[in-house]
Amino acid sequence: MEGKRILIIDDDKNVLEILSLYLKRDNFEVMMAKDGEEGLDKAKEFNPNLIILDIMMPKIDGLEVVKSLRKDNEVPVILLSAKGEEFDRVLGLELGADDYVTKPFSPREVIARVKAILKRVNRLENNKKDLISYPNLIVHPKDRSVEVKGEEVDLSPKEYELLLLLARHPKQVFKREVLCDRIWGMDYYGDTRTVDVHINWLRDKIGLDYIKTVWGVGYKFEVKVDD
Protein backbone atom coordinates (compact mmCIF):
# COMPACT_ATOMS: atom_id res chain seq x y z
CA MET A 1 0.00 0.00 0.00
CA GLU A 2 3.01 2.27 0.39
CA GLY A 3 2.84 5.34 -1.84
CA LYS A 4 -0.90 5.10 -2.52
CA ARG A 5 -2.53 8.54 -2.65
CA ILE A 6 -5.52 9.24 -0.41
CA LEU A 7 -7.65 12.38 -0.65
CA ILE A 8 -9.73 13.29 2.44
CA ILE A 9 -12.60 15.72 1.87
CA ASP A 10 -14.26 16.94 5.08
CA ASP A 11 -15.16 20.31 6.61
CA ASP A 12 -14.22 19.05 10.08
CA LYS A 13 -10.60 19.96 10.78
CA ASN A 14 -10.28 17.30 13.50
CA VAL A 15 -11.37 14.55 11.08
CA LEU A 16 -8.85 15.73 8.50
CA GLU A 17 -6.02 15.79 10.99
CA ILE A 18 -6.64 12.44 12.70
CA LEU A 19 -7.23 10.51 9.47
CA SER A 20 -4.20 12.13 7.90
CA LEU A 21 -2.10 11.14 10.91
CA TYR A 22 -3.18 7.49 10.79
CA LEU A 23 -2.84 7.24 7.00
CA LYS A 24 0.65 8.74 6.98
CA ARG A 25 1.63 6.34 9.75
CA ASP A 26 0.83 3.55 7.27
CA ASN A 27 2.90 5.25 4.56
CA PHE A 28 0.02 6.64 2.51
CA GLU A 29 0.45 9.94 0.72
CA VAL A 30 -2.32 12.27 1.89
CA MET A 31 -3.99 15.39 0.54
CA MET A 32 -6.88 17.20 2.27
CA ALA A 33 -9.77 19.41 1.18
CA LYS A 34 -12.22 21.28 3.42
CA ASP A 35 -15.27 21.28 1.12
CA GLY A 36 -16.68 19.56 -1.96
CA GLU A 37 -15.61 22.22 -4.40
CA GLU A 38 -11.99 22.13 -3.28
CA GLY A 39 -12.20 18.35 -3.16
CA LEU A 40 -13.17 18.06 -6.82
CA ASP A 41 -10.33 20.38 -7.80
CA LYS A 42 -7.80 18.38 -5.80
CA ALA A 43 -9.14 15.10 -7.16
CA LYS A 44 -8.20 16.30 -10.65
CA GLU A 45 -4.84 17.64 -9.50
CA PHE A 46 -3.90 14.81 -7.14
CA ASN A 47 -5.33 11.79 -9.04
CA PRO A 48 -5.86 9.85 -5.79
CA ASN A 49 -6.09 6.08 -5.50
CA LEU A 50 -8.97 6.50 -3.02
CA ILE A 51 -11.14 9.30 -1.63
CA ILE A 52 -12.56 9.55 1.90
CA LEU A 53 -15.55 11.86 1.63
CA ASP A 54 -17.92 13.46 4.13
CA ILE A 55 -21.56 13.71 3.05
CA MET A 56 -22.57 16.96 4.78
CA MET A 57 -20.29 19.75 3.56
CA PRO A 58 -20.55 23.37 2.46
CA LYS A 59 -20.59 24.54 -1.19
CA ILE A 60 -20.92 21.06 -2.72
CA ASP A 61 -22.05 18.15 -0.55
CA GLY A 62 -20.58 14.66 -0.70
CA LEU A 63 -23.39 13.19 -2.81
CA GLU A 64 -22.84 15.79 -5.52
CA VAL A 65 -19.11 15.12 -5.36
CA VAL A 66 -19.71 11.39 -5.95
CA LYS A 67 -22.08 12.17 -8.82
CA SER A 68 -19.53 14.49 -10.42
CA LEU A 69 -16.64 12.03 -9.95
CA ARG A 70 -18.56 9.15 -11.52
CA LYS A 71 -19.00 11.01 -14.80
CA ASP A 72 -15.45 10.12 -15.79
CA ASN A 73 -13.65 8.61 -12.81
CA GLU A 74 -13.79 5.20 -11.11
CA VAL A 75 -11.69 6.15 -8.08
CA PRO A 76 -12.92 4.26 -4.97
CA VAL A 77 -14.89 6.41 -2.51
CA ILE A 78 -15.56 5.84 1.20
CA LEU A 79 -18.37 8.01 2.58
CA LEU A 80 -18.32 9.44 6.09
CA SER A 81 -21.83 9.95 7.44
CA ALA A 82 -23.63 10.76 10.70
CA LYS A 83 -25.94 8.12 12.19
CA GLY A 84 -29.09 9.90 11.02
CA GLU A 85 -28.05 10.04 7.36
CA GLU A 86 -29.08 6.51 6.35
CA PHE A 87 -31.00 7.70 3.26
CA ASP A 88 -27.97 9.71 2.13
CA ARG A 89 -25.67 6.71 2.66
CA VAL A 90 -27.89 4.50 0.52
CA LEU A 91 -28.13 7.18 -2.15
CA GLY A 92 -24.36 7.60 -2.07
CA LEU A 93 -23.84 3.89 -2.66
CA GLU A 94 -26.35 3.96 -5.51
CA LEU A 95 -24.46 6.89 -7.06
CA GLY A 96 -21.25 4.84 -7.02
CA ALA A 97 -19.59 5.13 -3.61
CA ASP A 98 -17.80 1.92 -2.55
CA ASP A 99 -18.31 1.93 1.21
CA TYR A 100 -19.35 4.10 4.14
CA VAL A 101 -18.32 4.62 7.75
CA THR A 102 -20.68 6.11 10.34
CA LYS A 103 -19.51 8.96 12.57
CA PRO A 104 -18.19 8.87 15.22
CA PHE A 105 -15.75 6.31 13.90
CA SER A 106 -12.56 4.54 14.86
CA PRO A 107 -9.64 5.77 12.71
CA ARG A 108 -8.34 2.18 12.65
CA GLU A 109 -11.64 1.03 11.14
CA VAL A 110 -11.36 3.63 8.39
CA ILE A 111 -7.80 2.59 7.62
CA ALA A 112 -8.87 -1.06 7.53
CA ARG A 113 -11.63 -0.18 5.04
CA VAL A 114 -9.14 1.79 2.93
CA LYS A 115 -6.73 -1.15 2.77
CA ALA A 116 -9.48 -3.66 1.98
CA ILE A 117 -10.79 -1.60 -0.93
CA LEU A 118 -7.32 -0.95 -2.34
CA LYS A 119 -6.51 -4.68 -2.18
CA ARG A 120 -9.72 -5.46 -4.07
CA VAL A 121 -8.99 -2.82 -6.70
CA ASN A 122 -5.44 -4.11 -7.11
CA ARG A 123 -6.74 -7.67 -7.53
CA LEU A 124 -9.24 -6.54 -10.18
CA GLU A 125 -6.55 -4.59 -12.04
CA ASN A 126 -4.28 -7.64 -12.06
CA ASN A 127 -7.13 -9.76 -13.38
CA LYS A 128 -7.71 -7.27 -16.18
CA LYS A 129 -4.05 -7.42 -17.13
CA ASP A 130 -4.32 -11.19 -17.48
CA LEU A 131 -7.40 -11.02 -19.70
CA ILE A 132 -7.17 -12.41 -23.19
CA SER A 133 -9.56 -10.31 -25.22
CA TYR A 134 -10.73 -10.49 -28.82
CA PRO A 135 -13.90 -9.17 -30.47
CA ASN A 136 -16.83 -11.00 -28.82
CA LEU A 137 -14.48 -13.25 -26.83
CA ILE A 138 -12.84 -12.81 -23.42
CA VAL A 139 -10.84 -15.48 -21.61
CA HIS A 140 -10.25 -15.02 -17.86
CA PRO A 141 -7.22 -17.14 -16.89
CA LYS A 142 -7.56 -16.30 -13.19
CA ASP A 143 -10.91 -18.06 -12.77
CA ARG A 144 -10.80 -20.16 -15.95
CA SER A 145 -13.96 -18.61 -17.35
CA VAL A 146 -14.86 -17.63 -20.92
CA GLU A 147 -17.27 -14.97 -22.16
CA VAL A 148 -18.71 -14.95 -25.68
CA LYS A 149 -20.62 -11.80 -26.66
CA GLY A 150 -20.92 -10.90 -22.97
CA GLU A 151 -22.33 -14.28 -21.90
CA GLU A 152 -20.35 -16.88 -19.93
CA VAL A 153 -19.85 -20.15 -21.78
CA ASP A 154 -19.45 -23.46 -19.97
CA LEU A 155 -16.37 -25.32 -21.25
CA SER A 156 -14.90 -28.61 -20.12
CA PRO A 157 -11.35 -28.42 -18.67
CA LYS A 158 -9.75 -29.71 -21.88
CA GLU A 159 -11.84 -27.40 -24.09
CA TYR A 160 -10.81 -24.45 -21.93
CA GLU A 161 -7.13 -25.42 -22.02
CA LEU A 162 -7.23 -25.77 -25.80
CA LEU A 163 -8.83 -22.36 -26.20
CA LEU A 164 -6.42 -20.74 -23.76
CA LEU A 165 -3.36 -22.17 -25.51
CA LEU A 166 -4.54 -21.21 -29.00
CA ALA A 167 -5.79 -17.75 -27.99
CA ARG A 168 -2.51 -16.95 -26.24
CA HIS A 169 -0.60 -17.65 -29.45
CA PRO A 170 -2.64 -16.16 -32.31
CA LYS A 171 -1.61 -17.24 -35.83
CA GLN A 172 0.76 -19.90 -34.48
CA VAL A 173 0.09 -23.30 -36.03
CA PHE A 174 -0.06 -26.18 -33.54
CA LYS A 175 0.32 -29.75 -34.75
CA ARG A 176 -2.19 -32.24 -33.37
CA GLU A 177 0.65 -34.12 -31.68
CA VAL A 178 1.81 -30.94 -29.96
CA LEU A 179 -1.71 -30.19 -28.72
CA CYS A 180 -1.98 -33.74 -27.39
CA ASP A 181 1.29 -33.31 -25.55
CA ARG A 182 0.47 -29.84 -24.18
CA ILE A 183 -3.14 -30.50 -23.17
CA TRP A 184 -3.30 -34.22 -22.41
CA GLY A 185 0.31 -34.69 -21.35
CA MET A 186 3.22 -36.82 -22.47
CA ASP A 187 1.67 -39.96 -20.95
CA TYR A 188 -1.38 -39.76 -23.21
CA TYR A 189 -1.49 -42.67 -25.65
CA GLY A 190 -4.82 -41.97 -27.29
CA ASP A 191 -5.53 -41.12 -30.92
CA THR A 192 -4.79 -37.55 -32.06
CA ARG A 193 -8.36 -37.52 -33.37
CA THR A 194 -9.27 -36.71 -29.77
CA VAL A 195 -7.94 -33.22 -30.54
CA ASP A 196 -10.27 -32.93 -33.55
CA VAL A 197 -13.26 -33.96 -31.46
CA HIS A 198 -12.51 -31.42 -28.72
CA ILE A 199 -11.85 -28.66 -31.26
CA ASN A 200 -15.24 -29.34 -32.84
CA TRP A 201 -16.94 -29.22 -29.44
CA LEU A 202 -15.10 -25.99 -28.66
CA ARG A 203 -16.13 -24.40 -31.96
CA ASP A 204 -19.75 -25.33 -31.35
CA LYS A 205 -19.73 -23.80 -27.88
CA ILE A 206 -18.07 -20.48 -28.67
CA GLY A 207 -19.74 -20.11 -32.06
CA LEU A 208 -16.93 -17.96 -33.46
CA ASP A 209 -14.83 -18.71 -36.52
CA TYR A 210 -11.55 -18.09 -34.71
CA ILE A 211 -10.08 -21.60 -34.64
CA LYS A 212 -8.83 -22.42 -38.12
CA THR A 213 -7.91 -25.83 -39.48
CA VAL A 214 -4.51 -26.08 -41.13
CA TRP A 215 -5.08 -29.11 -43.33
CA GLY A 216 -2.68 -31.99 -42.77
CA VAL A 217 -1.04 -30.21 -39.84
CA GLY A 218 -3.30 -29.00 -37.01
CA TYR A 219 -4.94 -25.80 -35.85
CA LYS A 220 -4.35 -22.10 -35.26
CA PHE A 221 -6.23 -19.21 -33.68
CA GLU A 222 -6.81 -16.31 -36.03
CA VAL A 223 -9.10 -13.28 -35.91
CA LYS A 224 -9.73 -11.37 -39.11
CA VAL A 225 -9.69 -7.59 -38.91
CA ASP A 226 -13.35 -7.41 -39.92
CA ASP A 227 -14.49 -10.05 -37.35
pTM of the model: 0.61
- 227 confidence band (pLDDT: 50, 70, 90): very low
Per the omega criterion (within 30 degrees of 0), is the bond before 48 cis? no
Per-residue pLDDT tens digits for 128-147: 667 889 999 999 887 889 99
| Domain tally, the chain | 2
Distance CA 38, CA 155 (A): 51
Residues 59-95 have pLDDT tens digits of 899 999 999 998 888 899 999 988 666 777 788 888 8
Across the strands, what pairs with 137? Answer: 134, 148
Asked if residue 227 belongs to a domain, the reply is: no
Q: Phi and psi dihedrals of 129, rounded to 5?
A: -65, -35
Does residue 69 sit within a domain? yes
Question: CB of 162 within 8 A of CB of 171?
Answer: no
Q: Among residues 104, 130, 156, which one ends one of the domains?
A: 130
Collapsed DSSP state (helix, strand, coil) of residue 151 = strand
pLDDT, one tens digit per residue, over 164-200 is 999 999 999 999 989 988 888 755 555 678 889 999 9
CATH number of the domain within which 56 lies: 3.40.50.2300
| Sheet order of strands, 50-54 included | 29-33, 5-9, 50-54, 77-82, 99-103
What is residue 96's predicted lDDT score, i.e. its pLDDT? Answer: 86
The rounded distance, in Å, linking the Cα atoms of 99 and 114 is: 9
- Statement to judge: residues 81 and 172 lie in one domain: no
Of 108, 130, 152, the one marking the end of a domain is 130
Q: Note whether 35 and 58 are within 8 A (CB).
A: yes
- Alpha helices (H) along the chain: 13-25, 36-46, 62-69, 86-95, 107-130, 157-168, 176-179, 193-206
